[in-house]
A and B are shown apart, each in its own frame.
Chain A
Amino acid sequence: MGKLRVFPQKTRDLAWRIIDDETILLSFRGKRVRDVVYTLNSTATYIWKLIDGKHSPEDIAGRIVDKYGISPRVALAKLRALMKDLSGRGYIYYP
């Protein structure tokens, strides 16, 4: 998985809450506070909880396969897309 082989972590200049299976993310990085609030659906929330610096992307993909009964290939593709999005927004990083 190339870059995804390390253990991803949440960035610290971020506030978040999980409410009824949905995650609300509020970023206050940079000079101006962005007014935009980002939300994650229940599947993404499940992944968000596993992004803790202790789970590799492979571990997380395995958990998705177990929980949602999808193929490893689909799980990995979905995970890659989400991680790319989250790291692009500065919500997670690869230490």
Chain B
Amino acid sequence: MTQHELRLRLARRGIPWTCLFELTYRCNLQCVHCYLGTNNPKEMNTDEVCGVLDTLKQVGCISLILSGGEIFARKDIVKILQYARASHFALRLFTNGTLIDRAMAEAIAQVKPWVVEISLYGFRDVHEQVTRVKGSFDDTVRAIEILRGRQIRVYVKSVVMKQNWAELPGLQQYVQRKLKVQWRSIDGGLQISPCDNGSKRPFLFRLSDRQLEKYMLAALTLNKTAKRNPEIRAAGENEHVCGAAFTACNITPSGELNPCLQIRAKDNSLKSKSFTEIWQEHPLFRQLRSLRRGDRQECLGCKDSVHCFLCPGMALIERGSLSARSPEACRLARGWKNAYRLLDKHLA
């Protein structure tokens, strides 16, 4: 069985394969595009976090992403990691890396995570323009090197923005050749979300159409993905739109259960309701689970859909409906189509 098959098999039994658990919204960096608003909710304490991990284990969830804010800003992070390992999760840690010193790397090595995923937004100047903290580039690069030295699997990822798009292909080569770790941001980093508090400020950093096309062409050329055009298969109309509330869920630092980071529910606190009650009964979760690709009336017959990464969360934010056409998804899909066309011409 492949991981994809396992995900579907669990989902059909009502079990989320993965949970993205936000442990804190505190962070030592101040990234310009960050989706977190300024309010810091009351975080669960160590025992409460471990209680949530018990619940996740009990419902059958096997993949656990620990994210922030910055997870290493929590003083009890090592205890949480050890508890998660003892609960036999496949652990993925999302971090900016800056707080990982040798001692912390040793603690991470002990819990044998599946992977540590670290964000890098450019070379020194650009990275620090984005993080707004001097010295953060060197701290992050040092963490990558320490972790790699401890044989911990590291993926580096980025967000594609006006500030950094032109140097990302170079950064990718630096990450792969000099830092000798995997690069994970070919297309995933293109979706820029609004802030949790509704502010659309991060949209300012989206690429223009022209920049998109150039970036996509450079990324395709570098990653030799042209032969796989189009990589995204045409999905059946009866398929789920995405994994939210189906194969995946999100938990906030104060213990609210959501279908996904992009879709925040209400009346969803694990302190007042059980996981199963929210997962099975909450109207938003039910609505998402019943949503099929064919329900997106505005997308029917779309010729760009093979290039499109449909995110119902983004559609909800942009258009107020989970099943609406998403203008940003359309723009990205058009960008990929044009980039493939240019690449084919170039290769011919």
Contacts and interface: CB of A to CB of B under 8 A. Distances in A.
Real binding pair: yes
Interface of A: 12-17, 19, 24, 26, 28, 31, 33, 35-39
A26 B2 contact: no
Contact of B85 (A12, A17, A33): A12
A24 B2 contact: no
B114 interface: yes
Contact of A16 (B1, B88, B91): B88
A33 B92 CA distance: 12
Contacts of A28: 90, 112, 114-115, 153
Interface in B109-166: 112, 114-115, 153
B1 A39 contact: yes
A14 B88 contact: yes
A15 B60 contact: no
A17 B88 CA distance: 7
Which bracket fits the contact residues of B?
20 to 34
A39 B88 CA distance: 15
A35 B2 contact: yes
A24 B88 contact: no
Contact of B1 (A12, A14, A15, A37): A37
B77 interface: no
Nearest to B88: A16
Nearest to A10: B88
Interface of B: 1-6, 10, 13, 15, 57, 60-63, 85, 88-91, 112, 114-115, 153
A16 B63 CA distance: 9
Nearest to A39: B1
Contacts of A36: 1-2
B130 to A, nearest CB: 29
Given A26-B90, A37-B3, A12 B112 contact: yes
Nearest to A26: B90
In the complex, which of the residues B3, B10, B61, B115 has the most CB atoms of chain A within 10 Å of its own CB atom? B3
In the complex, which of the residues A15, A16, A17, A24 has the most CB atoms of chain B within 10 Å of its own CB atom? A17
Contacts of A26: 3, 6, 62-63, 90
A71 to B, nearest CB: 32
Contact of B114 (A15, A17, A24): A15
B88 to A, nearest CB: 5
Nearest to A13: B112
18 contacts: A14-B88, A15-B62, A15-B88, A15-B114, A16-B62, A16-B88, A17-B57, A19-B10, A26-B6, A26-B62, A26-B63, A28-B112, A28-B115, A31-B153, A36-B1, A37-B1, A37-B5, A38-B1
Nearest to B6: A37
Nearest to A18: B60
A15 B115 CA distance: 13
A92 B293 CA distance: 42
A22 to B, nearest CB: 10
A24 B62 contact: yes
Given A17-B60, A26-B3, A26-B90, 4 more contacts: A24-B6, A26-B6, A26-B63, A37-B6
Nearest to B5: A37
Contacts of A13: 112
A15 B2 contact: no
B88 A37 contact: no
Contacts of A31: 153
Contacts of A16: 62, 88
Nearest to A38: B1
Nearest to A34: B3
Contacts of A19: 10, 13, 15, 60
Contacts of A39: 1
B2 A37 contact: yes
B114 A33 contact: yes
Contacts of B60: 17, 19
Contacts of B10: 19
B89 A15 contact: yes
B180 to A, nearest CB: 11
A15 B90 contact: yes
A48 B91 CA distance: 21
